[in-house]
């Protein structure tokens, strides 16, 4: 990068070349602005006509024609949309388009562009500037503002429309000393600049102002007290050399400036076999100059283009300038004014006509001249003067033939040379069809197509710069308001959770096709689209879905608030679903009834089958219970018989033992063998019988209880089942056992 001294030398040389080249255009631009404002007479003509006491009249037709073209642009404004090259970037594209619309609305960009378009129509060049501002927001706002074309200088070698191939541009702007200290607090002077040559006033590089003729002070501050200070902004493009190095093992490349890749590093890369290649690219930089010092920069705001964007008109190849419609209207306007003033002068000069009189025709010449102009006064003549025709009226001068046709020709030339016809002006008084009038309007717009083509190119260039500045300078999380089909919502810049993209700020993400589309708020475009749609509605009424019909309402002449309300109602209806068709409701009810009946039959069949299955299981369980009961009874009987036999055996054994004892006792010599022994045997027999009776009774009670339980179980299993139904719908929901009363 060049140091400040060499950069100042470059700035000085380029500034002088741009100033000399633009001096002719600046003079013509000032004249065009004066013509548009109604100052259409040269100073020499004004002095001459005042000397001749001729009327100076101006019927400004230039403003009307220029305003017609400006109004056509205002009624057909366009907006910049960012269209992604791949489907994966669609969400980022929607965010950037909405963010661009938000920042443009905040700074009234569309009105600034229309103002610059007006400058282009008048002078041939209109300028805007894209910049960052923290005046109202510390997180920076994007600003687009119109720039006075007389503040700008440009590369004389530029040939393309909108100065697309310009290598540099200058802006001359004046600040107060207080403003300079606020913007550049470290700068203390001097403020005198070699660039302050009043080029913005006269277009003449030579300073002939008497107030500066005796400025003194070598290298000092010799500006007038209270005079604003010139600040020169210089934006330029330069070819930058850099190297692209392939990252080993990774499919990525690294860009290294040429100054950082030394010969030693280059040799190491070659030894290791790392491929690298030298490339060149255009880099845009800017700096600010006050006096003889660079107070800021060089720095980069937008690397691929200037922040100043130009709209150019028609090309003047001979002088490498651009001109607007006013150049073509100057001669018709001048001659229209001159012929009108000439006709008025002729009429004023011949208002009274004048007299021819002999010297003796009147007695008092001064009294005669005073009374002749008074219709109530008596004018006295000498005797015989009237009879001898000594006093005669002056013959009226011959009216110049065709002078009024010259005025008509001059007035008709306005539309002929500009291409703006009566239809575009809205002044056509012919009885003609609306389609024909619209076609004639389009014919006029076709003649002005180069101007609107420059405006379209301007928006594309501005859109690319705007995109870079949004990605580079707008902080993440900045709350912005975006509008979508779901309505307006406040979201952080970078996107809500559903729109966030991990690479939305990378340079690769900016690979977009920038297209210019007609904005839906343009009145003329809405009227044209609505006129076509009204003719198609009868054919598309039963074809287009309601959502498409609601989209067509955006082009209706209805108020936007009303259209927004209709969209809100439509969204609510979509959320609720379409209204049911009566026939469909009836068919649906019939189907539901049949379906319910079928379900009831299926449930009853299933329940009946379940009942039969339960009955079969109950019978099987009852048979098994009976068999088990019989087996238990038999087992119980066998056990009882076994117990009885065991008791009997034990009783017999005990009796045998006692009998043996008695025998022994009897052998001891009892006298009466029948007394105690007989009683003992009798007692044993009774106890044995009571024991057997008790065992038999207990066995019978157990068998009876077991039989009763089995009977109860059998009755429960053999009870009838009945269906249980829902009390509201009547559908079968289950079964239950029905106990019959005893004895039934």
Tell me whether residue 576 is exposed, middle or buried, using C-beta atoms within 10 angstroms of its C-beta: 0 to 12, 13 to 18, 19 or more: exposed
Contact of 128 with 459, CB cutoff 8 Å: no
Question: Which whole-number Å values give the CA distances from 551 to 565, 568, 659, in the listed order?
Answer: 13, 12, 127
pLDDT band at 209 (very low <50, low <70, confident <90, very high): very low
pLDDT for residue 211 is more than 50:
no
pLDDT for residue 188 is more than 70:
yes
Across 602-627, b (16+ Cβ under 10 Å) vs e yields: ebeeebeeeeeeeeeebeeebeebee
Residue 227: what are its φ and ψ, rounded to 5°? -75, 140
Residue 11 tokens read as 């700035």
Give the pLDDT confidence score for residue 538 in this predicted structure: 76
Give the pLDDT confidence score for residue 670 in this predicted structure: 47
Contact of 696 with 644, CB cutoff 8 Å: yes
Residue 491 tokens read as 């979201």
Q: What is the DSSP string of 141-176?
A: EEEEEEE-GGGEEE-TT--SGGGTT-SEEEEEEEE-
Q: What is the C-alpha to C-alpha distance for residues 57 and 407, in angstroms, rounded to an integer?
A: 14
Q: What is the C-alpha to C-alpha distance for residues 161 and 150, in angstroms, rounded to an integer?
A: 18
Question: Which whole-number Å values give the CA distances from 651 to 258, 654, 678, 716, in the listed order?
Answer: 131, 5, 17, 45
Q: Which residues contact 190 (CB under 8 A, 6 or more apart)?
A: 219, 220, 221, 291, 292
Helix (H) or strand (E) holding 243: strand 229-246
pLDDT for residue 208 is more than 50:
no
Contact of 232 with 11, CB cutoff 8 Å: yes
Scanning the structure block, which residue is given the tokens 């096709």? 513
Lowest model confidence (mean pLDDT) among 573-587, 628-642, 689-703: 689-703
- Higher per-residue pLDDT: 329 or 647: 329
Q: DSSP character for 87?
A: G
pLDDT digits (tens, 9 = 90+) for 587-599: 888 888 888 888 8
Give the pLDDT confidence score for residue 671 in this predicted structure: 46
Residue 226 tokens read as 């209270």
- Higher per-residue pLDDT: 553 or 215: 553
pLDDT digits (tens, 9 = 90+) for 231-241: 999 999 998 88
Residue 183 tokens read as 């913007």
pLDDT for residue 229 is more than 70:
yes
Give the pLDDT confidence score for residue 394 in this predicted structure: 79
Q: What is the C-alpha to C-alpha distance for residues 436 and 560, in angstroms, rounded to an integer?
A: 30
Question: Which whole-number Å values give the CA distances from 408 to 40, 54, 332, 520, 577, in the listed order?
Answer: 19, 21, 10, 41, 67
- Higher per-residue pLDDT: 695 or 201: 695
Give the pLDDT confidence score for residue 78 in this predicted structure: 82
Q: What is the C-alpha to C-alpha distance for residues 459 and 516, in angstroms, rounded to an integer?
A: 7
Give the pLDDT confidence score for residue 31 in this predicted structure: 94
Q: Which is it for the CA torsion 497, 133, 74, 166, positive or negative?
A: negative
Helix (H) or strand (E) holding 737: strand 732-738
Side-chain-side CA neighbours of 447 within 13 Å: the count stands at 15
Tell me whether residue 333 is exposed, middle or buried, using C-beta atoms within 10 angstroms of its C-beta: 0 to 12, 13 to 18, 19 or more: buried
* pLDDT above 90: percentage of residues in the chain: 17
Distance of CA 452 to the CA centre of its chain: 24
Q: Which residues pair with 482 in a beta bridge?
A: 489
Q: What is the DSSP string of 323-371?
A: E-HHHHHHHHHHHHHHHHHHHHHHHHHTSS--EEE-TTS-S-HHHHHHH
Give the pLDDT confidence score for residue 742 in this predicted structure: 53
pLDDT for residue 69 is more than 80:
yes
Least Cα distance to 462 among 175, 243, 142 occurs for 142
Q: What is the C-alpha to C-alpha distance for residues 45 and 389, in angstroms, rounded to an integer?
A: 43
Query: ∠ at Cα 298 (297, 304), nearest 5°?
Result: 125
Distance of CA 504 to the CA centre of its chain: 16
- Higher per-residue pLDDT: 691 or 299: 299
Distance of CA 477 to the CA centre of its chain: 17
Task: Please write down the HEC assignment for all residues of 570-610.
Answer: HHHHHHHCCCCCHHHHHHHHHHHHHHHHHHHHHHHHHHHHH
Give the pLDDT confidence score for residue 376 in this predicted structure: 84
Q: Where are the domains of the chain?
A: 228-305, 535-576, 582-716
Q: What is the C-alpha to C-alpha distance for residues 675 and 6, in angstroms, rounded to an integer?
A: 166
pLDDT for residue 673 is more than 50:
no
Q: What is the C-alpha to C-alpha distance for residues 147 and 170, in angstroms, rounded to an integer?
A: 12
Q: What is the DSSP string of 395-462?
A: PPPPPPTTHHHHHHHHHHHHHHHH---HHHHT---S---HHHHHHHHHHHHHHTHHHHHHHHHHHHHH
Torsion of CA 298, 304, 306, 307, to 10 degrees: -90
Task: Work out the average pLDDT over 306-335.
Answer: 92
Scanning the structure block, which residue is given the tokens 């003509």? 45
Q: What is the C-alpha to C-alpha distance for residues 673 and 660, in angstroms, rounded to an integer?
A: 14
Q: Which range has highest mean pLDDT (436-440, 460-464, 521-525, 657-661)?
A: 460-464
pLDDT for residue 620 is more than 70:
yes
The whole model's pTM is what? 0.65
Q: What is the C-alpha to C-alpha distance for residues 16 and 13, in angstroms, rounded to an integer?
A: 5
Give the pLDDT confidence score for residue 173 in this predicted structure: 92
- Higher per-residue pLDDT: 698 or 496: 698
Residue 263 tokens read as 């010969």
Q: Which residues contact 610 (CB under 8 A, 6 or more apart)?
A: 735
Helix (H) or strand (E) holding 640: helix 582-667
Residue 575 tokens read as 């959320």
Q: Which residues contact 528 (CB under 8 A, 6 or more apart)?
A: 438
Task: Work out the average pLDDT over 608-620.
Answer: 80
Q: DSSP character for 652?
A: H
Q: Which residues contact 513 (CB under 8 A, 6 or more apart)?
A: 83, 85
pLDDT digits (tens, 9 = 90+) for 114-160: 999 999 999 999 999 999 888 887 778 899 999 999 999 999 999 99
pLDDT for residue 346 is more than 60:
yes
Cis peptide bond upstream of 190, omega within 30 = yes
Contact of 580 with 589, CB cutoff 8 Å: no
- Higher per-residue pLDDT: 312 or 659: 312
Least Cα distance to 493 among 506, 507, 481, 483 occurs for 481
pLDDT for residue 411 is more than 60:
yes
Contact of 261 with 194, CB cutoff 8 Å: no
């Amino acid at each position: 990068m060049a140091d400040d001294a060499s950069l100042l030398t470059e700035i000085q040389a380029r500034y002088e070349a741009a100033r000399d080249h633009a001096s002719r255009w600046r003079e013509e631009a000032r004249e065009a602005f004066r013509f548009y404002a109604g100052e259409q007479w040269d100073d020499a003509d004004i002095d001459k006509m005042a000397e001749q006491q001729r009327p100076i009249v101006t019927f400004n037709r230039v403003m009307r024609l220029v305003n017609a073209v400006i109004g056509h642009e205002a009624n057909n404004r366009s907006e910049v949309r960012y269209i992604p090259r791949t489907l994966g970037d669609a969400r980022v594209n929607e965010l950037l388009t909405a963010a661009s619309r938000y920042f443009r609305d905040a700074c009234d960009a569309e009105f600034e562009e229309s103002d610059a378009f007006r400058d282009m129509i008048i002078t041939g060049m209109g300028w805007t500037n894209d910049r960052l501002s923290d005046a109202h927001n510390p997180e920076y706002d994007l600003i687009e503002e119109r720039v006075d074309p007389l503040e700008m200088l440009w590369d004389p070698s530029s040939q393309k429309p909108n100065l697309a191939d310009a290598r540099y541009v200058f802006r001359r702007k004046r600040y107060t000393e207080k403003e300079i200290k606020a913007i550049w607090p470290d700068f203390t002077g001097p403020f005198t600049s070699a660039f302050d040559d009043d080029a913005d006033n006269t277009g003449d590089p030579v300073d002939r102002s008497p107030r500066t003729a005796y400025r003194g002070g070598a290298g000092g501050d010799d500006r007038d007290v209270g005079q604003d200070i010139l600040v020169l902004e210089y934006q330029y493009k330069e070819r930058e050399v850099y190297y692209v190095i392939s990252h080993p093992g990774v499919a990525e490349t690294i860009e290294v400036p040429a100054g950082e890749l030394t010969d030693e590093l280059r040799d190491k890369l070659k030894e290791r076999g790392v491929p690298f290649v030298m490339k060149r690219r255009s880099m845009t930089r800017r700096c600010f100059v006050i006096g003889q010092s660079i107070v800021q920069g060089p720095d980069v705001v937008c690397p691929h283009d200037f922040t100043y964007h130009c709209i150019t008109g028609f090309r003047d190849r001979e002088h490498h300038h651009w001109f607007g419609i006013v150049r073509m209207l100057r001669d018709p306007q001048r001659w229209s004014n001159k012929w009108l003033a000439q006709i008025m002068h002729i009429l004023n000069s011949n208002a009274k006509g004048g007299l021819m009189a002999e010297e003796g025709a009147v007695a008092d010449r001064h009294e005669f001249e005073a009374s002749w102009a008074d219709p109530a006064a008596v004018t006295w003549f000498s005797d015989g003067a009237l009879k001898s025709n000594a006093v005669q009226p002056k013959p009226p001068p011959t009216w110049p033939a065709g002078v009024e046709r010259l005025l008509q020709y001059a007035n008709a030339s306005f539309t002929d040379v500009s291409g703006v016809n009566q239809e575009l002006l809205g002044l056509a008084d012919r009885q003609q069809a609306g389609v024909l009038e619209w076609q004639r309007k389009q014919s006029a717009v076709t003649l002005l197509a180069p101007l609107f083509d420059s405006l379209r190119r301007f928006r594309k260039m501005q859109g690319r710069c705007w995109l870079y500045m949004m990605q580079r300078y707008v902080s993440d999380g900045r709350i912005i308001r975006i509008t979508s089909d779901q309505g307006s919502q406040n979201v952080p810049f970078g996107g809500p959770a559903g729109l966030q993209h991990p690479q939305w700020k990378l340079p690769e993400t900016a690979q977009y096709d920038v297209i210019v589309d007609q904005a839906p708020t343009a009145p003329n475009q809405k009227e044209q689209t609505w006129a076509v749609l009204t003719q198609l509605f009868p054919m598309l009424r039963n074809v287009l879905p309601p959502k498409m019909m609601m989209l067509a309402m955006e082009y209706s002449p209805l108020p936007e608030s009303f259209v927004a309300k209709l969209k809100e109602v439509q969204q609510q209806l979509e959320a609720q679903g379409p209204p049911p068709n009566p026939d469909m409701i009836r068919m649906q009810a019939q189907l539901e009834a049949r379906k319910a009946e079928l379900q009831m039959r299926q449930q009853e069949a299933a329940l009946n089958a379940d009942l039969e299955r339960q009955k079969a299981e109950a019978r099987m369980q009852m048979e098994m219970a009976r068999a088990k009961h019989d087996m238990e009874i038999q087992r119980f009987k066998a056990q009882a018989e076994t117990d009885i036999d065991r008791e009997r055996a034990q009783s017999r054994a005990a009796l045998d033992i006692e009998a043996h004892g008695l025998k022994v006792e009897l052998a001891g010599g009892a006298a009466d063998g029948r007394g105690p022994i007989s009683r003992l045997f009798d007692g044993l027999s009774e106890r044995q019988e009571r024991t057997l009776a008790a065992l038999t009774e207990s066995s019978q009670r157990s068998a009876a209880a077991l039989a009763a339980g089995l009977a109860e179980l059998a009755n429960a299993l053999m009870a009838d089942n009945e269906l249980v139904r829902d009390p509201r719908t009547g559908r079968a929901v289950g079964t239950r056992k029905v106990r019959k009363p005893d004895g039934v």
